[in-house]
Structure 1
């Protein structure tokens, strides 16, 4: 992702400041002196005054400057996060490329206007993906680890409970002392 650092203070005004300046200009004050008094760009102030005069309000006006526009709604963004988490829980992890393709399909299905590069590549851009991962650090998108179907099917509540029931029965029956209990992993042993 391009980490651009702002070199100007353009767009760093507060919403309340702009609203107060707009009200003064609509009340009869001149644009340039008002902009100077409030330390605003006079063209920006003029633009907000025009929006207010046209619409009668500034609710739809975006305040400030953003280096990128938001493509998806918060609701779709959260749906993608929930889907990613659910997919990993059912042993179907998504790669970053798969998530980018899914995002593009969601945007098209919801009639969202996407950047031309998304349409050309049929997936969300790399910059979007990096910002998405920064916004949602709880998810991890990477190449999923191979899991055998047998291992997935066997790891369920019933089998886990059976294992612990069998373990407690054997422990009671054989009376193992701590020096006879070893912890081993499956390194070098394959079930496939």
Structure 2
């Protein structure tokens, strides 16, 4: 048996320790996996769920989530947040841990463009500006379109009519009375 110096022994022990630690990391073991849980984020407006439900990974022993910890891209467009501060993590009806974020709808103005089709082309005839709708809406109904068209034009089609949120407009085909 050969003699090994203290220095060589410590070097070998250090390399062995590093190898064991690296094996754990490379195998995907981490303390974080054991100490976290998924919390479902549910957005509520007027008693109904809105938007997508996403999950946050939080510490296993955590009992609240701050509204500021929820990523901005989780929040649905067209709503403002009513909930503030810390939200209590509770069991949802599905059995999952979750937090409820309360929202209110935002009102925004849109312009309704009434057009006629002449020789295969859309020709704008009347614009009604500043019609208030909720930012969460995707369409306006035929009833709303008829209300603003008044007695001057008759709305063509049954609707609903799509809101173009890139320029806050709705295009509605109509014929002059």
What range describes the TM-score normalised by the shorter chain of this pair? under 0.3
